[in-house]
């Protein structure tokens, strides 16, 4: 909520699958993505979806 107040795009979802789809649709090259949530709702699926679509360049996902 503070990020959104500062003009940073923030998306809140109640489901990890929705989160993965929304994040993949919105993320662009050079974006910084913070995935925050509990493992009990499967947050790691969002991270895995992002990593599967990323290219590692000098230790940085891009």
Angle at the Cα of 9 (from 27 to 33), degrees rounded to 5? Answer: 45
Answer whether 0.75 is exceeded by the pTM.
no
pLDDT of residue 57: 53
Mean pLDDT, the chain, integer: 77
The pLDDT tens digits of the residues spanning 15-39 come to 887 878 888 888 887 888 888 888 8
Determine phi and psi for 57, rounding to 5 degrees.
-125, 110
Instruction: Tell me how far apart the alpha carbons of residues 57 and 40 are, in angstroms, rounded to a whole number.
Output: 31
**What's the pLDDT band for 60 if we cut at 50, 70, 90?**
low
Which ranges of the chain would DSSP assign to H, the alpha helix?
2-5, 16-26, 43-52
């Amino acid at each position: 909520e503070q990020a959104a107040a500062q003009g940073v795009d923030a998306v809140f979802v109640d489901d990890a699958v929705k989160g993965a789809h929304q994040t993949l649709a919105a993320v662009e090259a050079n974006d910084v993505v913070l995935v925050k949530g509990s493992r009990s709702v499967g947050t790691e699926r969002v991270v895995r979806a992002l990593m599967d679509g990323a290219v590692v360049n000098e230790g940085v996902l891009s």
